[in-house]
Structure formats: structure tokens, C-alpha cells
């Protein structure tokens, strides 16, 4: 007791000191970001707003990405569609910056995070503070003349700086436009690396970051305006997932990127694995160097690949930027991210905030880029980088694979899914029905991991359908920022028409609509951007609705009679991203999930896998391949290098055994044959006899030094 008591006191005192140090706020310098052109609150109407430009009757201009607010069809501005040459210039800049950043320490990256975090916390209201009418006074005539003369509200045409500033003051240019987005402009390029800042800054202070963005509304609001989703959907799908990833990287990221040593003896392996299992999250895998390498020390090193290219989808603009960026930059890479042409506005705004923090710490310029454009821009990016991460459709994913094969770069594809939601007869039906509706209607169903096929046991089929219909009929869709509606808009123009065609195909083949949600007060020009949540029964696999990715708020429910039938139905799909199995018997649910061919499975829950950021995320079949989350996703951004060196250098050096030295000795094959059996034989006595023979051959002084070739 006399020995242990002082030790316990010392440990307790150290813990108290560590806790008190955590209470001391870090000394973090402030940064200043010009927010004078932050977008208004969207309260303007069609009649009194010059920025309202309906899409109808307007031809697509291929040199620019036009941005609209899906829920109201208000015009948000535009961004340049970069050419191949401009994309390659961005990649070249990122590559130059990455060579410097690869030498940085994790300590430097964390300081970077602190600076950005401070800005986000201190400027939440400023980021989304709406414009007042008085700020717009006197600028209407300039804007109106430009819009009339050009047919578009084009803030980059002409050299009139007054017209330029006024247009983007009203339009709310999220990047400060001309200065920061024109790729040839030197002033812009100087601050082009901004997204990288967010990684290191957020990792250190992830708890403060989470508090800031959960308490505030700026990030959710931007995502809501750009994609049409509700603030709740933005918080669930964008903010929480990003915070979880940051938290995991803060706790585990550095550890998984350090060299991993492979130990020689099985006893050492078992001890290391046992210790690893006691660690909080994951554990360093320890494997033997092998019997033949008794005298060697081996390890795996994780080096940056160079410049990562990411082409991301529009459904989660905030998280889809941060997800690849966090892994790429934390592992020492540069990254160029092409945001979707359907959600460029908010993505570029997130980038602008981070640019200022990057410049403040003197990090390498141009480490991270966010670019805008169409297919040509994406194609140029694939041909220029060292790895490509793509989130999108299977059709485009195949095109990217073909393009990547020209340069043989690694590819990670996340191509959506057609996830099965299986409900057994021994569940709490009202409880599971609530989960099912959230799984189907999250972000208006525009969720790659959303549930799109519902298989319910015939014994609870009727009660489950009744519960789902009851919930869905209470759901209303409308403009998300009003705060009055449960569901927002459909982001992509024309997608609501596709959803209706899928429903019509099902109805023609015998399906029946048993419940629908309602619409709120929709604007005349935005009515086509909404689709009511819809429940269908009597569906089968001959219908397109059960085979094609829906990406909308549709709930088709099909009954099954046995576990085998449910598994067969779940596997009858070209997609294989995820599944969810609900049963009162945990073992039964696990057995069913293990037989479903997919990359992600949840037992008595839905999509919870993605909130466990130590887990890899990705699918099989037409859902793609590769993983971009967890340990596997982090290391996928690295050059994995195997290193072997002498364990006891300089005392024991590698030497070629005499029988194998050129020219080989007559007994060389006998030596090699005995060596193989001595190392890998299954019988201990045979191994010992072989070892004796090996030693005999090696010590045989009659073996000619010059070697004698064996006769035929």
C-alpha cells in the first residue's frame, strides 16, 4: 500500500493538471474576411427582385455555371466553367504547394485548425446576416441595365467596377467573384488553398466547432438554399456527419498515418493485438515479418500521394467537400475539388471562409482548390491528378474509370444505391415505421444511402403500411427556410418529372398509391421543384421503381414470407451500397444481413454506419468500389510503402548463402529444398531434420567457392 498510494496520487494530480490546462483558452490570432457581399436572406419576391430569373426559356451557357435556389427558383449568381487548361493550372499549383505541405508537422496543421475555428465561432451571424433594403438603395438601376443588356445578371462582364460590385452585392457572390475565382488572376490564386485550412483547424477544436455550427444556422442555411433541403436535414446530413469525421480524425487520424511495424514472433503479435483491443477506437494491426525474415525489421509507411482530385455530388454540398478534403489534406496531400454544377454556390462560399484562414497562417498557397464547371472540367481533372474520388451516378462513374485508365491512377467510386429495408414480423411496428419514413424522406429522398426498397413480413405488412401512411400524410413539403415544412425541394431541375414517370410505370403494372403528403405554399415557378412523399403497395421487381435508383421521397413496400425470400429480394439489384434489417432477434437480423451483398449493413437501425467514422464506407456492384471513410479511406489517400531493414545492423548483415551464390553450387537445389521444409514444414521432426541438412550444406567445406553447376 505504501508503494501504490503515492503513485495513485501522482496519476490523479497529473489528470487534474491536464483537465485544468484544457480550460485555458488557446491564444489564437483572428482573421478578417470581407463579408460585405454575403447573400441576402431570400425574402425578395419575383415582383420586386431583379435577381429573380426563371430557368424557363433560357438556354444553358456552357462557359458559366448558373446557380438557382431550388425551392424558389431565385437566381443566386454564376461561376465560371473552367476549361481543361485552367484545371491543369489549378492542379499544377496544388502540386507545388503539396510538396511543401508534405513536410509539415501535425502540430502545424492543428494550429491552422484553431485559427479557422475561431473565425467560424466569432462570425456565425455575420456569415448569414441578411442584407437590408437600405443597403440595396440606389443600385437597382445599374443592375437592371446590365440584366437587360446581357439577358443575364452577369457580374463579370465589362470593366465597370461599380456595376460589378453592385451586382454581386445584390446577388450575394459567395466568393468575392472576380478577384477570387478567375483562375488567371494572381490575387485570387494567392488565397486559393483555403479548404485545406479547415481540416487542421477543425481537428484540434472539433468540440468547439460542433458547438458553434450546431448553435448557429449559417452553414445549414447555405446548404438549405443551395439544395432545397430543410434546416433539420442539413444539420443531420451535413453538420453532424462532418463533426463526427472531425472528431474521429482528431482522436485517431495521426495514429493511423504513422509507420506501422510488423513484428516477428507470434507471441509478440498476440501481445500487441491484445493491447490494441484495449484502445478506445480501433487498434494498430500487428503482423509477423515472417519466418524467413528472422533477422529483419519490417514496417509500412504512409506517404502522401500528391494531388487528389474529387468530383462530388450536389446532395450534401458541405459534407461532400469536407469529406475528401479532410482525408486528403490530413494525410499530406493537396486536393482539387470540383463541386457539382447543381450546388456550386454554397460550395464556393465554404471555400472562401477557409481561404482567409489559410493565408493567415502562411501555409502553402493553392494547397486546396474548389473549381466549378461541367463535364469538360471534370474530365480535365481526372487526367491531371494522382487519385480521383468520385461521388455521383454509375454512368458518370464508368466514364471516369475509362478516363483514369489512361493514366492508371487509383479511383474511389461512390455511385449511389438502392438500399433494402427489411422488416421482420417480431418488431415494434410503430417504432420501425418512424425509422423507415426518416430513411426514405431524409433530404427529400436525395440520399445515396437512403432506403428505396421496403420488404415487410406478411404478418405485419398491413399494420406497417398503415403506420407509414399515417406518418407520411402528416408530412408537408415546401420552401425550407420558412421553417413551416417537414420536407424541402428537389434539387435538380426536371428530376421531379422523372420521379413521376417511375410512379406511373409502377401504377401501369399494378401498383397502388395508398398515401401521399401535402404541399405548402409554393411559388409559381418553383412548383416543378417539389414532389410529395408517396407510399406505394402491390409493387414487384418488374417495375422500374424497384430496380432504378429513385433519389426521391417514394416509399414502395413489398411483402415477403420467409427470411430466404427477403434475402433473395434484397440481392436482386444492380446496386449494393447498404441494407438495414430489423428483427426482435438480434442473431436472426445479423444472419440475414451477412447474406446480403452490399458494403454497409445496419442491424435494427438505418445508416448509422456513416456516423461511425472509423468504419469504411462504400459499396459493390453498380454502387462502386473503394472506401472513402474510416481507416481505409484515410490510408487510401496515401502511397503505402513497405520497408524492410536489418534488425541487428551492423552486427548481422544480409548475406547470400554460399550454395546460392553465382555460379550456383551443385547442391543448391538440395539446400533450397531443405530450407523450405525447415521453415514451413507441418511436422516438427521433419522441420528439424531439414534444418540439420541446411546447416550441413552451409558448413560443408568441400563446396567449391566458385560453385559448380549441377548436371542435367
Lateral strand order in the sheet of 638-646? 260-262, 296-304, 638-646
Task: Check residue 455 and give left, alpha or beta (phi > 0: left; psi -120 to 50: alpha).
Answer: beta
Quickly list DSSP for 375-404. Answer: HHHHHHHHTTSSEEEEES-HHHHHHHHHHH
How far is 422 from 258, CA to CA, in rounded Å? 41
Give yes or no: 414 in active site.
yes
CA distance 322 to 337: 10
The backbone torsions φ and ψ at residue 454, rounded to the nearest 5 degrees and listed phi first, read: -115, 120
Sequence-distant (≥ 6) Cβ neighbours of residue 45 within 8 angstroms: 52
Query: What length does the chain have?
Result: 712
Quick count: other Cβ atoms within 10 Å of Cβ 144? 12
Is 81 in contact with 373 (CB distance < 8 Å)? yes
Contacts of 670 (CB under 8 A, 6+ apart): 693, 697
Selected catalytic residue, list 414, 452, 549, 677: 414
> Helix, strand, or coil here: 279?
coil
| Contact residues for 368 (Cβ-Cβ < 8 A; gap 6+) | 94, 192, 193, 194, 195, 196, 197, 325, 329, 334, 335, 336, 337, 351, 354, 358
Instruction: Tell me if 268 sits within 8 A of 244, measured CB to CB.
Output: no
C-alpha cell at 701: 567445406
Q: Write the DSSP symbol of residue 364.
A: P
Three-state DSSP at 663 gives: coil
- Tally Cβ neighbours within 10 Å of residue 23: 6
Phi/psi of residue 307, each to 5°? -115, 120
| CA 712 from centroid of its chain's CA atoms | 61
Active site residues: 414
Amino acid at each position: 500500500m505504501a508503494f501504490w498510494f503515492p503513485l495513485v496520487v501522482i496519476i490523479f494530480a497529473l489528470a487534474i493538471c491536464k483537465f485544468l490546462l484544457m480550460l485555458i483558452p488557446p491564444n489564437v490570432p483572428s482573421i478578417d474576411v470581407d463579408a460585405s457581399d454575403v447573400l441576402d436572406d431570400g425574402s425578395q419576391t419575383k415582383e420586386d427582385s431583379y435577381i429573380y430569373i426563371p430557368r424557363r426559356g433560357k438556354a444553358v451557357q456552357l462557359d458559366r455555371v448558373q446557380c438557382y435556389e431550388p425551392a424558389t427558383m431565385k437566381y443566386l449568381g454564376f461561376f465560371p466553367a473552367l476549361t481543361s487548361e485552367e484545371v491543369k493550372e489549378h492542379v499544377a499549383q496544388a502540386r507545388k504547394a503539396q510538396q511543401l505541405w508534405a513536410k509539415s508537422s501535425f502540430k502545424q496543421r492543428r494550429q491552422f485548425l484553431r485559427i479557422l475555428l475561431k473565425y467560424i465561432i466569432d462570425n456565425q451571424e455575420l456569415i448569414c446576416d441578411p442584407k437590408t433594403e437600405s443597403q440595396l438603395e440606389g443600385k437597382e438601376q445599374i443592375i437592371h441595365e446590365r440584366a437587360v443588356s446581357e439577358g443575364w445578371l452577369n457580374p463579370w462582364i465589362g470593366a465597370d467596377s461599380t456595376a460589378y460590385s453592385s451586382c454581386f452585392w445584390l446577388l450575394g457572390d459567395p466568393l468575392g467573384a472576380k478577384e477570387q475565382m478567375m483562375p488567371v488572376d494572381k490575387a485570387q490564386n494567392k488565397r486559393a488553398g483555403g479548404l485545406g485550412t479547415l481540416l487542421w483547424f477543425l481537428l484540434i477544436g472539433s468540440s468547439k466547432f460542433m458547438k458553434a455550427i450546431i448553435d448557429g444556422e449559417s452553414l445549414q442555411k447555405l446548404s438549405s438554399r443551395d439544395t432545397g433541403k430543410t434546416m433539420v436535414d442539413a444539420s443531420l446530413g451535413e453538420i453532424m456527419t462532418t463533426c463526427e469525421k472531425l472528431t474521429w480524425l482528431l482522436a485517431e487520424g495521426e495514429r493511423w498515418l504513422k509507420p506501422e511495424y510488423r513484428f516477428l514472433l507470434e507471441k509478440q503479435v498476440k501481445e500487441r493485438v491484445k493491447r490494441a483491443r484495449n484502445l478506445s477506437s480501433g487498434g494498430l494491426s500487428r503482423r509477423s515479418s515472417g519466418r524467413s525474415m528472422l533477422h529483419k525489421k519490417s514496417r509500412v509507411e504512409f506517404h502522401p500521394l500528391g494531388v487528389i482530385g474529387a468530383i462530388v455530388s450536389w446532395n450534401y454540398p458541405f459534407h461532400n467537400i469536407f469529406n475528401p478534403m479532410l482525408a486528403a489534406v490530413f494525410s499530406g496531400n493537396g486536393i482539387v475539388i470540383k463541386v457539382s454544377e447543381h450546388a456550386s454556390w454554397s460550395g464556393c462560399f465554404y471555400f472562401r471562409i477557409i481561404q482567409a484562414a489559410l493565408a493567415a497562417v502562411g501555409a502553402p498557397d493553392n494547397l486546396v482548390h474548389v473549381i466549378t464547371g461541367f463535364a469538360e472540367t471534370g474530365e480535365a481533372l481526372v487526367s491531371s491528378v494522382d487519385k480521383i474520388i468520385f461521388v455521383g451516378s454509375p454512368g458518370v462513374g464508368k466514364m471516369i474509370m475509362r478516363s483514369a485508365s489512361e493514366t492508371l491512377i487509383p479511383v474511389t467510386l461512390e455511385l449511389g444505391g438502392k438500399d433494402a429495408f427489411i422488416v421482420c414480423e417480431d418488431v415494434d411496428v410503430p417504432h420501425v415505421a418512424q425509422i423507415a419514413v426518416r430513411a426514405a424522406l431524409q433530404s427529400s429522398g436525395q440520399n445515396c444511402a437512403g432506403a428505396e426498397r421496403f420488404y415487410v413480413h406478411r404478418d405485419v405488412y398491413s399494420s406497417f403500411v398503415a403506420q407509414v401512411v399515417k406518418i407520411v400524410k402528416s408530412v408537408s413539403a415546401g420552401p425550407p427556410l420558412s421553417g413551416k415544412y417537414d420536407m424541402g425541394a428537389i434539387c435538380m431541375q426536371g428530376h421531379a418529372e422523372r420521379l413521376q414517370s417511375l410512379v406511373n410505370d409502377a401504377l401501369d403494372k399494378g401498383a397502388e398509391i395508398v398515401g401521399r403528403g401535402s404541399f405548402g405554399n409554393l411559388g409559381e415557378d418553383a412548383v416543378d421543384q417539389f414532389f410529395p412523399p408517396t407510399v406505394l403497395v402491390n409493387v414487384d421487381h418488374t417495375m422500374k421503381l424497384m430496380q432504378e435508383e429513385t433519389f426521391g421521397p417514394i416509399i414502395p413496400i413489398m411483402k415477403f414470407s420467409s427470411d430466404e425470400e427477403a434475402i433473395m429480394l434484397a440481392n436482386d439489384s444492380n446496386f449494393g451500397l447498404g441494407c438495414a434489417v430489423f428483427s426482435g432477434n438480434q442473431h436472426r437480423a445479423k444472419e440475414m444481413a451477412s447474406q446480403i451483398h452490399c458494403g454497409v449493413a445496419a442491424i435494427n437501425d438505418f445508416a448509422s454506419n456513416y456516423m461511425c467514422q472509423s468504419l469504411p464506407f462504400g459499396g459493390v456492384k453498380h454502387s462502386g468500389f473503394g472506401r472513402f471513410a474510416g481507416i481505409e479511406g484515410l490510408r487510401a489517400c496515401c502511397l503505402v510503402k513497405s520497408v524492410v531493414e536489418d534488425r541487428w545492423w551492423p552486427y548481422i548483415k544480409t548475406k547470400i548463402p554460399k550454395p546460392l551464390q553465382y555460379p550456383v553450387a551443385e547442391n543448391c537445389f538440395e539446400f533450397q529444398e531443405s530450407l523450405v521444409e525447415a521453415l514451413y514444414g507441418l511436422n516438427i521432426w521433419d522441420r528439424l531434420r531439414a534444418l540439420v541438412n541446411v546447416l550441413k550444406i552451409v558448413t560443408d567445406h568441400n563446396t567449391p567457392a566458385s560453385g559448380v553447376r549441377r548436371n542435367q
